[in-house]
Amino acid sequence: MKHMLEMTCDELSAAIKALGLPAFRGRQIFQWIWDKRVGDFAAMTNLSRDLRERLAGTMTALTGRIIRSREASDGVIKLLIEWPDGERIETVMIPTRPGEAPSARRTACISTQVGCAVGCVFCASGLEGVSRDLTAGEIVEQVYLWDTQPGAARVTHVVLMGMGEPLANYEATVAAVRILIDPDRGGLSARHITLSTVGLPDQIRRLAGEGIPLNLAISLHAPNDELRRRLIPAATGVSIDELIDAGCEYFSRTGRELTLEYVLLAGVNDSPACAEQLADLTRRLRCNVNLIRYNPVAGLPFSRPAEREVVAFRDRLRRLGANVQIRASRGADADAACGQLRRTGVSS
């Protein structure tokens, strides 16, 4: 049966009717799931006990099981989730720090695959390769789980920046986004969702035609093809020029500026020459640059540049006319920061 979080109200009503029950029960269940964020039949109190027990034996809204929760000193929380087939992924909640505005902002960083095939040499997510794609329901379920944690406020923003390459799981990713922005289901604004991709030009162009004004971030990490292919093995067949062209088309069709993500690795991609080459690229595309301090991964031979080097790299880019910021590092002491998520949970 289709994952219940993938079902529209009409689809759920039809599924309920197929069980020999009146269709209006489907509408009741839909309201419990989405209006009240209750995915447990036992808690749907306007259904009879017999009916709740019957439904619990045939259908489920939540298929994942939280194996472990870990909280960082800055309030970031990471969940390790296990699916019925035994596969596991990690997802992260990034709340606004106390005193920051807007105080109610809660950003869910979600995964789209079990593992990752991209193989960025500085990232933990691809160390065990990729096992399978997540379904649209499993992608949405990560947001739903954050919404339904005890005492939690609703998720306000979503970043598809967890494990996996979203555009390599294109159909499920787009279907999940449509559920998340559906006013009757997820209820989020598309402008509050960011999709991060290593850069698949054909899929970027296809995404531009979906009519969804998502924020698109390209994981660049190097300002020239030679270095990028060393850092991102999956980039071997895609040039930066192709990415820039696809990014320009995305902007022209959606009106959304892109973000170029750039993880700074000490002595690798943080030189003045790299800054100058990166600035040249920004002149060809309506974009902002997000500088990300490398988050250490045990066993990998990289280190984070000194803070003065990070600031110097940013300032050089600004002098050269680039729009650039340094992304705040959050969750590192719980292995919940960018590049630290794993499918096995061994980092937890």
State residue 344's pLDDT score. 61
Question: What is the residue whose two structure tokens read 């110097």?
Answer: 312
Q: How many residues does the chain have?
A: 348
Is the CB of residue 42 less than 8 Å from the CB of residue 52? yes
Is the CB of residue 253 less than 8 Å from the CB of residue 247? no
State residue 345's pLDDT score. 55
Fold that domain 73-334 belongs to in CATH? TIM Barrel (3.20.20)
State residue 337's pLDDT score. 65
Structure tokens at 128: 């065990």
Give burial (CB, 10 Å; 0-12/13-18/19+) of 211.
Answer: exposed
Per CATH, domain 4-56 is 2.60.40.10: no
List, by residue range, all CATH 1.10.150.530 domains of the chain. Answer: 4-56
Query: DSSP states of 82-135 as a string?
Result: E-TTS-EEEEEEEEPPTT-SSTT-EEEE--SEEE-SS--TT-STTTT-EEEEPP
338 annotated active-site: yes
Neighbouring-strand partners of residue 288: 259
State residue 152's pLDDT score. 87
Structure tokens at 204: 């970027």
State residue 347's pLDDT score. 44
Dmax (CA) for the chain in angstroms is 70
Return d(Cα 341, Cα 254) in angstroms, integer. 30
Return d(Cα 333, Cα 330) in angstroms, integer. 8
Spans of the chain, pLDDT less than 70:
1, 98-103, 336-337, 343-348
pTM of the model: 0.94
The active-site residue out of 6, 87, 90, 261 is 90
State residue 11's pLDDT score. 96
CA distances to 16, 148, 267 from 151, rounded to whole Å, are 31, 8, 44
The active-site residue out of 109, 274, 287, 338 is 338
List, by residue range, all CATH 3.20.20.70 domains of the chain. Answer: 73-334
State residue 99's pLDDT score. 66
State residue 127's pLDDT score. 86
Contacts 24+ apart (CB under 8 A), 51-56: 51/21, 51/25, 54/19, 55/19, 55/29
Is the CB of residue 215 less than 8 Å from the CB of residue 256? yes
90 annotated active-site: yes
